Amino acid sequence: MFVLTVDQRKSRTAADLVEAAMTALNRDPGRPLRLAFDRTAGDEMQAATESAATAVGIGLELAASGHWSVGIGVGGVREPLPSNTRAAAGEAFERARAAVTAAKTAPGNIAVSGASPLAGQAEAVLQLVAAVTRKRSKLSAEAGLLISEGLTQQEAASRLGISQQAVSSRLHSGLWHECRRAAEVGVVLLEGADA
């Protein structure tokens, strides 16, 4: 099982983003959650999933935004699961707590904790992807998000009012393809850490 504990960064000086983030994440049918995101403290939320791809996708999205510190805990949970995350317990929840604390000062503000050495390897990959994602230019991010939505480069170019070559250049400078492949490696490593 994978538990995400997510803490809003600079919450004392910024608007509360937790409610809007929880609503958006809990409504996404493409990301199966065993326990939906729930506020566990003032500026913190937590969820559980059996899908490494879901944990990586959500973790990278939130960490790369710069607004969140993300901890991913890998391990067992006490079954049966309760109806909300605040009442849940087990190794994955304990490890997620340790990971979110580490994420506050980690590269890319993402950390992974699990018993297997593969958890540490997954953490290294995810930190790299999150750090690269944060350094992208606005133009590169704009093109990459359209490609991530399933548009072709030609369709993205048409939507942005630029050439297909310009879209390709933006994807190249933002290391979009490399980051996508690295995130896939992170998923495989997390799956191995939970085996």
Flag whether 187 is in a domain: no
Confidence check: pLDDT of 19 > 80: yes
pLDDT band at 44, cuts 50/70/90?
very high
Do residues 106 and 153 both lie within one domain? no
Same domain, 19 and 53: yes
Query: Are 152 and 111 found together in one domain?
Result: no
**Partners of 39 in beta bridges:** 45
Strand partners, 38: 46
Q: What is the mean pLDDT of the chain?
A: 94
- pLDDT of 10: 80
Contact of 13 with 44, CB cutoff 8 Å? no
> Which domain range does residue 155 map to?
138-174
The answer to whether position 32 is within a domain reads yes
What integer pLDDT is reported at residue 46 of this predicted model? 97
Are 27 and 98 in the same domain?
A: yes
> In this structure, are 51 and 109 located in the same domain?
yes
Same-domain check for residues 88 and 155? no
pLDDT tier, 56 (very low <50, low <70, confident <90, very high otherwise): very high
Q: Are residues 50 and 105 in the same domain?
A: yes
**Tokens 């191995």, residue located:** 192
Q: Which residue has the higher pLDDT, 29 or 105?
A: 105
Q: Is 80 exceeded by the pLDDT of residue 13?
A: no
Total count of domains within the chain: 2
126 lies in some domain: no
Residue 14 pLDDT > 80: no
93 and 9 part of one domain: yes
Answer yes or no: is 70 within a domain: yes
Tens-place pLDDT, residues 149-186:
899 999 999 999 999 999 999 999 999 999 999 999 99
Does 64 map to a domain? Answer: yes
**For residue 153, is it within any domain?**
yes
Together in a domain, 107 and 149: no
Q: pTM of the prediction?
A: 0.92
What single letter denotes the amino acid at residue 25? L
Q: Check residue 29 and give its pLDDT.
A: 86
Query: Helices (DSSP H) in 37-175: which residue ranges?
Result: 52-65, 91-103, 117-134, 138-148, 153-160, 164-173
Mean pLDDT computed over 67-75: 97
Look at 50 and 86; give whichever has higher pLDDT: 50
Among candidate residues 66, 45, 48, the one with its CA nearest the CA of residue 110: 66
Residues 88 and 60 in one domain: yes
pLDDT at 181: 96
Give a yes or no: residue 132 inside a domain.
no
- CATH code where residue 25 lies: 3.30.70
Let me know if residue 185 belongs to a domain.
no
57 & 89 share domain: yes
Average pLDDT for 20-39 = 93
Residues 59 and 91 reside in one and the same domain: yes
Percent of the chain with pLDDT over 70: 100
* Higher per-residue pLDDT: 75 or 11: 75
- Encode 152-182: b = buried (16+ Cβ within 10 Å), e = exposed: ebeebbeebebeeebbeebbeebbbeebeeb
